[in-house]
Amino acid sequence: MKLLTLVTLCTASLLILSGCGGNVPIPKKEAVIDTTLPIVELTANGTIIDSGSIALEWKAIDDQRVEGVYIYKVSLDENDSNKNEYYDTVNSRFSTHYLDTKIEANSRYAYYFKTYSAKAESQKSETTIITSLPQLESVIWIHSTQGMPRSAKVIWRPHANEKVKAYIIQRRTLQESKWSDIATVNGRLNAEYIDENLQDNFTYKYRIRVLTYDGIVSKPSEEVSVVTKELPAEIMQIVASTDMPKKIEIHWRGTQASDFLMYRVYRSVSINGSYEMLAETKNSSYTDKIDEDSKEYFYRVSVVDRDKLESVNSNFTALGRTLVKPSAPSLAEAMFVNGQVKLSWVSSDSRAKSYIVQKKFSKSFLESSIEDFKNINGNQFLDSNVEYEKTYYYKIFAVDANGIKSEPSIEVKLKIEDKSMVPKRANPSSVQQNRVEQNVVQERKVQPSSPISPAPIEEVIIPMQDFN
């Protein structure tokens, strides 16, 4: 009864296991045997057996010559005839207990003892053969939860043994052969573990060992498998517009995922460049408004589910472009006739719905002016609002039905040199300032008429090749 209490409480046995500190006596090679020294005798209940430890108790030794007890141990399951049988020393005759924790489960051991004095040893005690208990069983029920996003949940039934201190969670993948300890869950009544930061659509295996307060680790439990949640299916059909003014429309085939949350639209200036997230939407289309003509972007779309898992989006890309500018008109002729500047041009772009004539001149030494004559429907323009000895620059823009303005035509330069050729000032057309594009400058000078016999001013046509 005393030994049972000792093993249950553990503390006294652990103290005896440590023996006495300092220099511990060991048997001499040429020992002197004193047959009068007492022989160790186990008590009636002198052994208590566990799977990882064996406790021994012997009767008290009163002989004052005895300084302690030598303990001999032989593993009967090891085939080693030359093994050393001496195992440990209890260096106090008052000690009557020993706890051996270096025990393998379900294994056989033989023990015998000798008392020793300062000069001699006693005869061997009787040999006691002990078989350790089988290894502690693990939990009897374990279950896993499938399809969790990047995580796995394992639950089990709490162990019935009240000596259980904790549960050791072990894991491996199908590619691994060895189990790894990934967590320790403290508390016998705890019965759940969630493993996080796992791969998507990946298989993991789990099992559990229990750990007792005295350090005994059980057999492994049954294995359970977990497959983490798969990413949403990627968007495989995506198109982007190339003919819309100031915008690009992106369309894709919608997902069939039951736990769909939203789409994410990404954009980049190059197909293999860095993509920035442009928008999140529940619709299967998106309009990217862009304040530029002929602007190109690459687009990708991903699916996000309610667990915030996002599909792959790098395999399918669409190229979009805003509507290009109309072609620039070709300036056909520019001349000063009958007191007016006459411009004519041709356009090969069917998108051109109207034209803008841009006029530039110097108002003073430090100030210049730009006038835009808009909504010209034909292919000719007359400007009578000109002055003597001033130089004017003209260029033409085409405008389509969306208000998109082309690049300018070449720029023509006209200088008015004869005051008598200038008619009265006419009211200017509507003017609006606009930026000046590239200049291809040509010059035409108007010569003064004869003062003696003024003849009617003759129309002069300047072919375009003369401008180059």
Spatial strand order in the sheet of 238-240: 238-240, 247-252, 285-289
11 membership: H or E segment, kind and range: helix 11-17
Each residue of 43-76: pLDDT tens digit? 999 999 988 899 999 999 999 999 999 999 999 9
What pLDDT shows up at residue 448? 39
Q: Which residue from 112, 110, 127, 102 is spatially nearest to 51, judged by alpha carbons?
A: 102
Distance CA 26, CA 35 (A): 19
Distance of CA 219 to the CA centre of its chain: 38
Distance CA 88, CA 66 (A): 16
Q: Which residue from 411, 282, 406 is spatially nearest to 352, judged by alpha carbons?
A: 406
Tell the residue number behind the tokens 């002069």, with chain if given: 460
The fold adopted by the segment(s) 142-227 is Immunoglobulin-like (2.60.40)
330-467 under CATH 3.10.450.50, yes or no: no
Q: Which residue from 337, 378, 373, 332 is spatially nearest to 354, judged by alpha carbons?
A: 378
Q: Which residues pair with 199 in a beta bridge?
A: none
What pLDDT shows up at residue 417? 75
CATH superfamily of 238-321: Immunoglobulins (2.60.40.10)
Structural contact between residues 416 and 337, judged by C-beta atoms closer than 8 angstroms: no
Backbone angles phi, psi at 65, to 5 degrees: -75, -25
Each residue of 341-363: pLDDT tens digit? 999 999 989 999 999 999 999 88
Cα–Cα separations (whole angstroms), residue 330 to 347, 373, 379, 412: 6, 17, 10, 12
**Fold match, 142-227 / 330-467:** yes
What pLDDT shows up at residue 454? 37
The tokens describing 454, both together, are: 């003024």
Helix, coil or strand: residue 413: strand
Q: Which residue from 47, 53, 49 is spatially nearest to 103, judged by alpha carbons?
A: 53
2-131 under CATH 2.60.40.10, yes or no: yes
Tell the residue number behind the tokens 């056909």, with chain if given: 332
Distance CA 386, CA 394 (A): 12
Encoded amino acid at 194, one letter:
I
Structural contact between residues 299 and 247, judged by C-beta atoms closer than 8 angstroms: no
Tell the residue number behind the tokens 């996000």, with chain if given: 304
Q: Where are the domains of the chain?
A: 2-131, 142-227, 238-321, 330-467
What pLDDT shows up at residue 122? 95
The tokens describing 254, both together, are: 């919608």
What pLDDT shows up at residue 82? 52
Most distant CA pair in the chain, distance: 167
pLDDT in tens, the chain (468 residues): 444 444 444 434 443 444 444 578 889 888 899 999 999 999 999 999 988 899 999 999 999 999 999 999 999 987 755 567 899 999 999 999 999 999 988 999 999 999 999 999 999 999 999 999 999 999 999 999 999 999 999 999 999 999 999 999 999 999 999 999 999 999 999 999 999 999 999 999 999 999 999 888 999 999 999 999 999 999 999 999 999 999 999 999 999 999 999 999 999 999 999 999 999 999 999 999 999 999 999 999 999 999 999 999 999 999 999 999 999 999 999 998 888 999 999 998 999 999 999 999 988 778 889 999 999 999 999 999 998 888 999 999 999 999 999 999 999 999 887 654 544 443 444 333 333 333 333 334 433 333 333 334 334 444 443 333
Tell the residue number behind the tokens 């799977």, with chain if given: 51
Q: Which residue from 468, 439, 420, 461 is spatially nearest to 336, judged by alpha carbons?
A: 461
Q: Which residue from 264, 263, 269, 276 is spatially nearest to 298, judged by alpha carbons?
A: 269
What pLDDT shows up at residue 419? 54
What pLDDT shows up at residue 437? 33
